[in-house]
């Protein structure tokens, strides 16, 4: 159940060039767990679109299935939205973008949605350089189906069942780079300072723009042993007859300077190391981008920031040489070759 946000707003809220307040970019009140990283990303999307003065109805927000994929309900209430099927958002966006090149396509997905069931579509939408923003809300686990490991979970990380993950992790940024993506960035859900400009840049980029956002799951990234863990709390909760319990948590935020590394503690007490790309790193070189990521991965860091961008990117419409006029505006007069042509075809078939 989604709730409509109350209409009343303070009259002096800041407006953008279009005269819209931030509220014009919001959606229904979120029903995700309190403190879920995905909500922070929704907030960053709202801020970025407001600041860019985009007409909200010119954005199509698309997603697959999962907690993350639900989040489009919680931003851009005046835009058309599309929750497709699990992992297959990229193809739906591809079709939509083919039909109308004049909208902005914002795809939202989870790491389960993208790196497992949707890996094929993810790879191919990157290689086709579809003009879209693809945000992965990456929590290393499946939220909506309650905590299984996802393919981006680090080897050795412990799932809610208490088992250590024995498989190596898929790095979505490296994958996208290798598939030919023309804009690749990584960020952290709680780092608005970094995330908002990245979203803005991704929207402005012509071509496929991936932002892989580390987004902690309040409820399931809590390993056994931690008193904050779901397991721990549930055990204690069951004593009181409660069958379901989701801990209230605060959103994890962070703010640190480019070129520096920073340790972020997750809800379960474990931590991740973020390394923000320094501003003098060249993001226009695919090879060095790949090497940089690998270097930091080996060091146990997650490299964040704009990792790669192709300034001369040619998107799918450029490659296919599709008409400037959106295909969905063409009608019978433009499309139908008429009866005379059929007469000629008939004649050639006798």
Partner 1 sequence: MKRLESVNDFVIKFANVNGTGSASANNMFAKALFRMGLPVSPKNIFPSNIQGLPTWYEVRVSEKGYLGRRGGVDIALSVNPQSMAQDIQEVEEGGYFIYDNTKPLDLRLVRNDVNIIGIPLTRICNDEYSDPRQRQLFKNVIYVGALAALLDMDFKVLTDLVKDQFKGKEKLILPNIHALELGHQYAKANLECPIGIRVKTSDKVGDKILLDGNTALGLGAIYGGATVAAWYPITPSTSVVDAYEKYVRRVRIDPGTGEKNYAIVQAEDELSAIGMVIGASWNGARAFTATSGPGVSLMSEFLGLAYFAEIPTVLFDVQRAGPSTGMPTRTQQSDILSAAYASHGDTKQVLLFPSTPKECFDFGAQSFDLAERLQTPIILMTDLDLGMNDNMSEPLEWDDARQYDRGKVMTAEQLEDGIEFGRYLDVDGDAICYRTYPGTHPKRGAFFTRGTSRDEYAVYTEKGEEYEKNMLRLMRKWDTIKEYVPQPEVVEASEKTDVAVLYYGTSEESSRESLDHLAGEGIHLNAMRVRAFPFNDDVKAFIEDHEQVFVIEQNRDAQLRTLLMAEFEFGPDKLKSVLCFDGTPISARNISKQIRQHLSGGAIEPLHRTKIASQAGESA
Contact footprint for ligand TPP (CB under 6 A)? 65-68, 86, 110-113, 137, 139, 141-145, 150
Please list every residue from 62 through 81 that binds partner 1, using CB under 8 A.
Answer: 62, 72-73, 77-81
Q: Which does 57 bind (CB under 5 to 8 A by kind): ligand SF4, ligand TPP, partner 1, none?
A: partner 1
- Say how far apart CA 148 and CA 159 lie, in whole Å: 6
Report whether 66 contacts 140 (CB < 8 A).
no
Report whether 17 contacts 50 (CB < 8 A).
no
Smallest gap, in angstroms, from Cβ of residue 66 to partner 1? 12
Smallest gap, in angstroms, from Cβ of residue 99 to ligand TPP? 25
Report whether 160 contacts 230 (CB < 8 A).
yes
* 184 forms part of the interface with ligand SF4 (CB under 6 A): no
Closest-CB residue for ligand TPP?
A: 110
C-beta of 187 vs 292, nearer to ligand SF4 = 187
Tally of CB atoms within 10 A around 242:
11
Smallest gap, in angstroms, from Cβ of residue 139 to ligand SF4? 5
CA angle (258, 221, 159) in 5-degree steps: 125
Beta-carbon contacts of residue 346 (< 8 Å; ≥ 6 apart)? none
Q: Which stretch binds ligand SF4 (CB under 6 A): 13-21, 28-36, 201-209, 327-335?
A: 28-36
| Number of amino acids touching ligand SF4 (CB under 6 A) | 11
DSSP state string for 275-287: EEPPTTS-TT-HH
Strands 301-309 and 183-188: antiparallel
* 217 forms part of the interface with ligand SF4 (CB under 6 A): yes
* 33 forms part of the interface with ligand SF4 (CB under 6 A): yes
* 223 forms part of the interface with ligand SF4 (CB under 6 A): no
> Radius of gyration (Cα) for the chain, nearest Å?
22
Phi, psi at 277, each rounded to 5°:
-60, 135
Nearest to 38 by CA among 150, 137, 152, 146: 137
Please list every residue from 279 through 338 that binds partner 1, using CB under 8 A.
Answer: 317, 320-324, 327-328, 330-332, 334-338
Binding residues for partner 1, rule: CB under 8 A, are 1-2, 55-58, 60, 62, 72-73, 77-85, 88, 90-100, 102-103, 120-121, 123-124, 128, 317, 320-324, 327-328, 330-332, 334-339, 341-343, 345-346, 349-350
């Amino acid at each position: 159940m989604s709730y409509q946000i109350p209409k009343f707003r303070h009259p002096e809220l800041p407006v953008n060039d279009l005269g819209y307040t931030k509220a014009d970019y919001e959606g229904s009140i979120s029903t995700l767990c309190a403190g879920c990283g995905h909500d922070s990303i929704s907030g960053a999307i709202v801020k970025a679109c407001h600041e860019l003065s985009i007409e909200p109805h010119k954005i199509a927000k698309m997603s697959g299935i999962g907690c993350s994929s639900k989040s489009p309900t919680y931003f851009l209430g005046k835009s058309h939205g599309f929750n497709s099927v699990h992992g297959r958002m990229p193809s739906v966006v591809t079709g939509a973008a083919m039909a109308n090149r004049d909208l902005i396509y914002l795809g939202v997905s989870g790491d389960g949605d993208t790196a497992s069931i949707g890996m094929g579509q993810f790879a191919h939408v990157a290689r086709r350089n579809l003009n879209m923003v693809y945000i992965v809300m990456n929590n290393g686990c499946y939220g909506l189906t309650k905590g299984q490991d996802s393919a981006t979970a680090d080897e050795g990380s412990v799932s809610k069942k208490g088992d250590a993950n024995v498989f190596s992790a898929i790095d979505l940024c490296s994958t996208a780079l290798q598939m030919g993506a023309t804009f690749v960035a990584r960020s952290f859900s709680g780092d608005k300072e970094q995330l908002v400009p990245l979203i803005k840049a991704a929207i402005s980029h012509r071509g496929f723009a991936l932002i892989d956002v580390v987004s902690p799951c309040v409820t399931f990234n809590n390993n056994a042993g931690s008193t904050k863990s779901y397991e721990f709390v549930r055990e204690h909760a069951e004593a009181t007859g409660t069958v379901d319990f989701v801990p209230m948590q605060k959103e994890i935020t962070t703010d640190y300077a480019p070129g520096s590394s920073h340790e972020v503690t997750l809800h379960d007490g474990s931590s991740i190391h973020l390394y923000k790309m320094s501003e003098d790193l060249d993001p226009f070189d695919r090879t060095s981008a790949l090497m940089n990521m690998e270097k930091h991965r080996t060091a146990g860091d997650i490299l964040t920031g704009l990792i790669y961008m192709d300034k001369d990117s040619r998107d799918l419409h450029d490659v296919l040489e599709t008409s400037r006029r959106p295909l969905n505006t063409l009608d019978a007069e433009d499309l139908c070759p008429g009866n005379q042509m059929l007469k000629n075809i008939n004649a050639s078939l006798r």
